[in-house]
Amino acid sequence: MSHKNMVREFFSTRFVAIVLALPIFFFIGCDTLLTEAPEPHTTLEEPFDELTPTELAAFARGDEAFEEEFTAETGLGPIFNNTACGSCHPGDGRAHPSAAFKFFGHVQGGTIDLLTELGGPQLQDRSLPGVPAETLPPEATAVSVRAAPPVFGVGLIEYIPVADILANEDPNDADGDGISGRAHWVTAPDWVPANVAGGGAGPQLGRFGLKANTSSLLQQVARAYHQDIGITTDFIPVENFRSNTSAPGDLVADPELPAGTMLDVVFYIRMLAPPKRSEITAEVQQGETIFSQIGCVSCHVPKFNTGPSPFKALAFREVALYSDLLLHDMGPALADEFIDGDAAGSEWKTKPLWGLGRTPDALGGVPYYLHDARTSDLNAAIMLHGGEAQKSRDNFAALSPEQRQALLAFLNSL
């Protein structure tokens, strides 16, 4: 049989099969065979409802840029950790353990040398061909493994009034409850304007990052491009070279990413809405009561409200965060001994719990918890809490199996 006749017979057979299948298709119905869009705000990738057409256009541009995979021809490297924002935040959620970052330094006498001459403090373990990737130097005595957190809802965090966050501070444990959360005050780079939330001269409240070491989304995004992907911007225009290497740069002139594109990404992240809670059953309600009774709400503050914002979608909204955004000593089991600004090695910002039940959605169905994504067992993650959370952890351990299951059901409803 000739090649043309073989092709003709193949398509003829396929055509008959399709025609014969059509009655079955219509008998079953489209709803059975075709997928449906998810319910609104049940994924981690949706904008707030109130965006204007102009804002939706900026959101769409930022979404596209967030997923862009960089190459050497588009500015990647020369040293880097990953090739796209979305690679560390799949589905806008948290990172897989395989994409976790490492930060290192030499700690001695309560101070840290960030070993910048040896490539610190962030380890870039990938590189362009011909450029040596970084390895941990023997001088590093503290290594912090950190999995990138989800990026939804951060626009709301940006506009919670400072005074409302500070109202939960108790650095000297004046009330004697064993909990002494404190704000992490940081200095914003001079390229973050004063009219940007978290920018300007003088101490600024750290809100972002696992140790609240960043005060503005603008800095968070620019630094991520620079440190994680090796992309220069108008805000950080110099390549991330180690000071002890003469490795060549990449193929694109600096700055590699236009300011407009980066600002679109900032806007995209700012306008990602937190997902709505799943069904609130009687068991979930019981778990919520237990969560409060055993003291978890002392740090995982259920709600804030935003104040004024130049963005209507973010102004005067309830923020069901389940975090106080303060630093707490979490004990030796969770300590990384890496001193981050004024945050000690055992201190971490209270993790927001909203969206916790959606953690597995972009990770192949497997959740990963804690700052280093070390466990997929939520029960184990709670039991690793110590320090200021020790009392609540012990109260959790003393619960009956039914009470513990109710508490976990509550957490997974968030």
User: At residue 13, does pLDDT exceed 80?
Assistant: no
- The mean per-residue pLDDT over the stretch 275-300 comes to 97
Q: Mean per-residue pLDDT for 50-59?
A: 97
Last residue of a domain, one of 223, 245, 270: 270
- pLDDT value of position 257: 97
Q: Mean pLDDT over residues 27-37, rounded?
A: 51
Q: Which residue's entry shows tokens 């130049």?
A: 310
Residue 38 lies in a domain: no
Q: CA-to-CA distance for 411 and 237, rounded, in angstroms?
A: 42
pLDDT at 149 over 90: yes
Helices and strands: H and E segment counts in the chain = 12, 11
Instruction: Say if residue 11's pLDDT is above 90.
Output: no
Give the structural domain span for 187. 53-270
Quick check: is 215 in a domain?
yes
- In three-state secondary structure terms, 371 is coil
**What pLDDT score does 28 carry?**
42
Same domain, 239 and 382: no
Confidence tier at 35 by pLDDT (50, 70, 90): low
In this predicted structure, the answer to whether residue 113 has a pLDDT above a threshold of 80 is: yes
Where does the pLDDT of residue 284 fall: very low under 50, low under 70, confident under 90, or very high at 90 and above?
Answer: very high
Residues 305, 196 share a domain: no
- What is the rounded CA–CA span in Å between residue 321 and residue 51? 21
166 in any annotated domain: yes
One domain, residues 265 and 322: no
Report the pLDDT value the prediction gives residue 34, as an integer from 0 to 100: 53
pLDDT at 31 over 80: no
Any domain includes 44: no
Q: For residue 144, give Cα distances in angstroms to 44, 58, 120, 332, 371.
A: 27, 35, 12, 13, 9
| Residue 122 exposed, middle or buried by CB count within 10 Å (0-12, 13-18, 19+) | buried
Mean pLDDT of 238-264: 80
Say whether both 175 and 215 belong to one domain: yes
Q: Which range, 38-42, 243-247, 291-295, is most confident?
A: 291-295
If asked whether residues 130 and 242 sit together in one domain, one would say yes
Whether 204 has a pLDDT exceeding 80, the answer reads yes
CB atoms within 10 A of CB 187: 13
- Report residue 335 CA to chain centroid gap: 20
Averaged pLDDT score across all residues of the chain? 90
Q: What is the mean pLDDT of residues 193-210?
A: 96
Evaluate whether residue 147 is within a structural domain: yes
Backbone angle region of 369, left / alpha / beta, with phi > 0 → left and psi within -120 to 50 → alpha? beta
Question: Residue 47 falls within a domain, yes or no?
Answer: no
Q: How confident is the model at residue 241 (pLDDT cuts 50, 70, 90)?
A: confident
When pLDDT is cut at 50, 70 and 90, the band that residue 42 belongs to is confident
Structure tokens at 277: 């809670």
Residues 123 and 239 in one domain: yes
**pLDDT higher for 10 or 143?**
143
CA dihedral 92, 102, 198, 171 (to 10 degrees): 110
pLDDT given for residue 15 in this prediction:
37
Instruction: Summarize the confidence of residues 45-68 as an average pLDDT.
Output: 97
Pair 249, 362 in one domain? no
Q: Does residue 123 share a domain with residue 229?
A: yes
Secondary structure percentages of the chain, helix, strand, coil, to 5: 35, 10, 50
Q: Are residues 243 and 331 in the same domain?
A: no
Sign of dihedral through CA atoms 325, 327, 331, 332?
A: positive
Q: Which of 245, 270, 295 is the last residue of a domain?
A: 270
> What pLDDT was estimated at residue 130?
86
**pLDDT classification of 40: cutoffs 50, 70, 90:** confident
Query: Does residue 45 belong to any structural domain of this protein?
Result: no
The verdict on residue 96 lying in a domain is: yes
- Domain shared by 156 and 95, yes or no: yes
Interval 69-111: pLDDT, tens: 999 999 999 999 999 999 999 999 999 999 999 999 999 999 9
Number of domains in the chain: 3
188 and 130 inside one domain? yes
Average pLDDT estimate for 144-155: 97
CATH of residue 396's domain is 1.10.760.10
Q: Dump the DSSP string for 187-203.
A: E--TTS-TTSTT-SSSE
Flag the least confident range among 8-12, 49-53, 186-190. Answer: 8-12
Average pLDDT, integer, range 382-397: 98
Q: Are residues 248 and 371 in the same domain?
A: no
Domain boundary among 218, 235, 270: 270
First to last CA, the chain: 63
pLDDT at 137: 96
Model confidence at 240, in pLDDT bands (50, 70, 90)?
confident
